[in-house]
Amino acid sequence: MDQTHGHNLGKRIILPASFIGGPRDMRKRYIHAIILVQRFSEPDIFLTMTYNPNWLKIKKELLVRKELQDRLDLVTRVFHAKLEQLINELFKKEIFGAIAAFVCVVEFQKRGLSHAHFVIILKHSHKLTSLEQYDDIVCAKLPNLEENVHIYNAIIRHMMRGPCGELK
């Protein structure tokens, strides 16, 4: 009889902050990111890394007639290795300069395919202060096809999405 009345059904459960993706965890992460901005200054670089279905390590391991969605374990492992390589480039080689603080979030696109977002705050002595400095790290033009065939083909294959103008 008690089950037919709504006032006795259900039990309230409060998820701990350690539950990844829960409301308390997300609030904690948001507050930590805001504290970084308050302490170190506004972010300098927003960087996104997505998986590439044409990575040789993935193509080599996929069996005939298998799709990426069939081997999410493989895609995730290769993505994680590439992410570690990027982090090594950012911190040890300092490709953008010395980093004061950063936030990295790894998300999964539809079908479980990974991508990562970085918000990077550079140390004061390495801040980007001129358009020329930004142009050194951001480039939105295609290389000369005759001079750099390999790079041109890699950019067309991996970095361009859909038709682009009259030349596509």
136 close to 45: Cβ distance less than 8 angstroms: no
Q: Is the full-model pTM beyond 0.85?
A: no
Q: What's residue 40's pLDDT?
A: 93
Burial of 30 (0-12, 13-18, 19+ CB in 10 A): exposed
- Residue 75: CB atoms within 10 Å: 24
In this prediction, residue 61 carries a pLDDT of: 80
pLDDT at 50: 85
Coil, strand or helix: which one is 99?
strand
What's residue 102's pLDDT?
Answer: 92
Question: DSSP of 123-149, one letter per residue?
Answer: -GGG---SHHHHHHH---SPPPTTT-H
Q: What is the pLDDT along the chain (168 residues), one digit of tens a residue?
A: 555 666 666 777 788 888 888 888 888 888 998 999 999 999 999 999 988 777 888 888 877 767 777 777 888 888 999 999 999 999 999 999 999 999 998 888 766 678 899 999 999 999 988 888 888 888 677 888 888 888 888 888 777 766 656 655
